[in-house]
Amino acid sequence: MISYSKVCLDTFGYELPPRTLTSEDIENRLAEVYERLKLPQGRLELMSGIRERRLWPDGTRPSEAATMAGEAVFANGDIDRTAVECLIFTSVSRDMMEPATASFVHNALGLPCTCLIFDISNACLGFLDGMVMLANMIELGQVQNGLVVSGETAEELLESTIMALIDNRNLSRKTIKPAFASLTIGSGSVGLFMRKCGDAETKPKLVHGAWQANTAHSDLCHGNQAGGKSTLMETDSEELLHRGVETAHQTWKLFSSTPGWGAEDIDGFFCHQVGTAHARLLFDTLGLELDKNFETLASFGNVGSVSAPITLARAIEENVYRPGHKGALLGIGSGINCLMLGIEWGK
């Protein structure tokens, strides 16, 4: 477990892609596959709870998406970009293998040459891991502030998956299942400026955290290049659901063992948004009130590492999470990893 006393979550910013792709749109493209396999229309939204997801214009790079979120942070807060001391890029999506995608974001945002930059990759937990790394440096006095950004680009994965399903004449109801999770993915970007707390702090503070790794199940979700620029994923959604919730249960035991961080103490949960069945099983297993779960799933889909932080950002924007509240960020990533972070907003 970890604890902090000096770390402030100063300003969030995010960017929503301009295109909307509904679950009905996807099923219309897969109509011949649905007819051949006798799958009912509406199945995708019914099973996932996702009505639509957002997509960038073709060719948008992860660094460009993350840069838009960074600019939104600067627009939302009184922040001097020339004084930013650290930049961490945290997406599943990356521009290329080398150099670090953070280098493109750093240049596009016009950050100073004294700014420490690097990428963190840990599936859907990347942004929360970036928060922990930056918080550690702030707590130790190595930096006074920093920016965490993520820009997920789902377009290639969605298109590759749809085309692969259309082209595969040997599909069955069983063999189509590993592709289902790929149809729930959406695009988006988010950024967070964190800094050392002031003497009379008025912004939310990161104060608590716990994690668990359950890597015996690292074979349940794999994403790979499938030739050319085609990207495909195979996910055992049902087993990943149960093993992920199992890992979250162990993490919650650690997280909630700290006084003041039990289920009754927390006003809102801001989770990695995967699906409605996942949320129900997670909150039931952890013994939490589902009404405390703020959701963005229906409109955004699963936005990878962007999902949990953009959900918190929206909750702040809509005054659902506000001064006087305690909140918990909860992320589960393939691997399997789980990370929970406690945020306290003084009155």
pLDDT number for residue 236: 80
Handedness of CA 251, 257, 262, 266 (dihedral sign): negative
Question: How many percent of the chain have pLDDT more than 70?
Answer: 98
Average pLDDT over residues 327-337: 93
Residue 83: is its pLDDT beyond 70? Answer: yes
Residue 189: is its pLDDT beyond 60? Answer: yes
The encoded tokens of residue 205 equal 């503070």
The encoded tokens of residue 332 equal 């589960």
Question: How many percent of the chain have pLDDT more than 90?
Answer: 85
Of the two residues 345 and 1, the one the predictor is more confident about is 345
The per-residue pLDDT for range 155-171, each reduced to its tens digit, is 999 999 999 999 999 99
Average pLDDT over residues 3-8: 96
- Distance CA(305)–CA(20), nearest Å, equals 19
The helix/strand/coil state of 206 is strand
Residue 271: active-site member: no
Catalytic residue among 115, 124, 271, 338: 124
Residue 128: is its pLDDT beyond 70? Answer: yes
Which residues does residue 53 pair with via DSSP β-bridges, in sequence order?
21
- Distance CA(118)–CA(304), nearest Å, equals 19
The per-residue pLDDT of the chain, averaged, comes to 94
The helix/strand/coil state of 261 is coil
Average pLDDT over residues 320-344: 95
Residue 52: active-site member: no
Which helix (H) or strand (E) element contains residue 248? Answer: helix 237-256
Structural domains of the chain in order of their starting residue, each with its CATH number:
201-344 (3.40.47.10)
The per-residue pLDDT for range 315-328, each reduced to its tens digit, is 999 999 999 999 99
Going from the C-alpha of 25 to that of each of 51, 160, 180, 326, the distances in angstroms are 10, 15, 15, 39
The encoded tokens of residue 89 equal 């890029």
The answer to whether the beta carbons of residues 184 and 159 sit under 8 Å apart is no
Residue 22: is its pLDDT beyond 70? Answer: yes
The per-residue pLDDT for range 214-254, each reduced to its tens digit, is 999 988 888 875 554 567 778 888 888 889 899 999 999 99
Reported as half-sphere exposure (CB side, CA atoms, 13 A), residue 335 has a value of 19
Residue 62, preceding bond cis, omega within 30 degrees?
no
Mean pLDDT lowest for which of 65-79, 99-113, 269-283, 297-311?
269-283
Of the two residues 238 and 71, the one the predictor is more confident about is 71
pLDDT number for residue 226: 52
pLDDT number for residue 347: 77
